[in-house]
Amino acid sequence: MTAADYQPPRFLRSPHVQSVLGSSPLRRRHGERSLAACEAETTGHIIDGGNGVRLHGLHSVMPGDEPRGLALLLHGWEGSVDSSYMRLTAAALLRAGFEVFRLNFRDHGGTHHLNEGLFHSNRIDEVVHAALDVSRRFGRRPMAVAGYSLGGNFALRLALRAPAAGLPLAHVAAVCPVLDPARTMDAMEAGLPLYLWYFEKKWRSSLARKRELFPEQHAFDNRVLGLRMRPLTQWMIERHTDFGSLENYFDGYSVAGDRLAALEVPASILMAEDDPVIPVEGFRALRLPAASSLEISPWGGHCGFLESARLDGFAERWIASRLADALG
């Protein structure tokens, strides 16, 4: 199963149709129904992110079955464990014989109350620590990780750090991962305004919730919430990180160029040529080790990869296939 097998009908070949439908209420309901149909046992857990950080996630397993492995799933920015692609991917993995742990990043999925500090994209340490905690709790079997968009970026950085952290990862799969955050920001500002508006709206809502919960620590006013994406990111960097500048912050979580050449964990990357959010050019410049692969489809939009009017997705089947192959 490769990107060449993805042949969407003509009415689904627009990148904007793919991207918008992929996160639509219709697909959200499809994800709910698909996961419920698996009849898996799902339990919520508070996970140790180290240094007092608490993260939340959901563990799902098919009752009575002996799983072939454990899959850790990471969502995109302002997504959650309940995003449609997370539920649909969990369903595909459960049907393929995996147990699944879906992890919420800090301040995602209604978890703003668990930590005082704000989420930002360089909080990789707590995700590594959380993955270790998940592995200790459920790691009776081989473990793999998969992620979408920013979650794909976190998954790849997690794989880079896994050997030194003592995290036993067998494979990593990433769909439309953020490679170069600076180029992604440029692309959103130059592209269809819908995407920038969507992420700004969700981030402002998240920040407002954080201010409501921790007014003494986050006493910013509504003028801050009215900033556009770039100046709002700059505000966050200056007040809530030690990076000092937008350039240093973006460089801190970039995996572009030769940064993935050091991967010891085999990786599979799926990208769409027509992604309207993440420029495809950076993927052609990637240096990957021999055990890793990159597949670029002509279609798919940003994390869409829809296959039919039922809104089934190629990406979730691709992840299940890649992880099943890796774990035998």
Whether 275 is a known active-site residue: answer yes
Residue 221 phi, psi dihedral angles, 5° rounding: -100, 180
Q: Are 95 and 32 in contact (CB under 8 A)?
A: no
Annotated catalytic residue 292: no
**Of 79, 84, 75, 72, which Cα lies nearest the Cα of 32?**
84
DSSP code string of 185-220:
HHHHHHS-HHHHHHHHHHHHHHHHHHHHH-TTT---
Candidate list 84, 135, 149, 254, residue with the active-site label: 149
Compute CA 4 distance to the chain's CA centroid, rounded to the nearest angstrom: 23
List the catalytic residue out of 59, 75, 171, 302. Answer: 302
Which amino acid does the sequence have at 193? P
Read off the DSSP letter of residue 237. H
270: left (phi over 0), alpha (psi -120 to 50) or beta: beta
Question: Rounded to whole angstroms, how far apart are CA atoms 148 and 75?
Answer: 6
- Centre a 10 Å sphere on the Cβ of residue 79 and count the other Cβ atoms it contains: 23
Euclidean distance between CA atoms 208 and 220, whole angstroms: 9
Chain-centroid distance, C-alpha 306: 18
How many residues in the chain?
328
**How do strand 69-74 and strand 143-148 relate by DSSP bridges?**
parallel
Using only the alpha carbons of the chain, give its radius of gyration: 19
Q: Contact at 8 Å (CB) between 252 and 145? A: no
Active-site residue (options: 82, 275, 292, 297): 275
Name, in order, each residue with C-beta under 8 angstroms of 308's C-beta and a sequence gap of 6 or more: 9, 12
Query: β-strands 41-50, 53-61: how paired?
Result: antiparallel
List, by residue number, the catalytic residues.
149, 275, 302
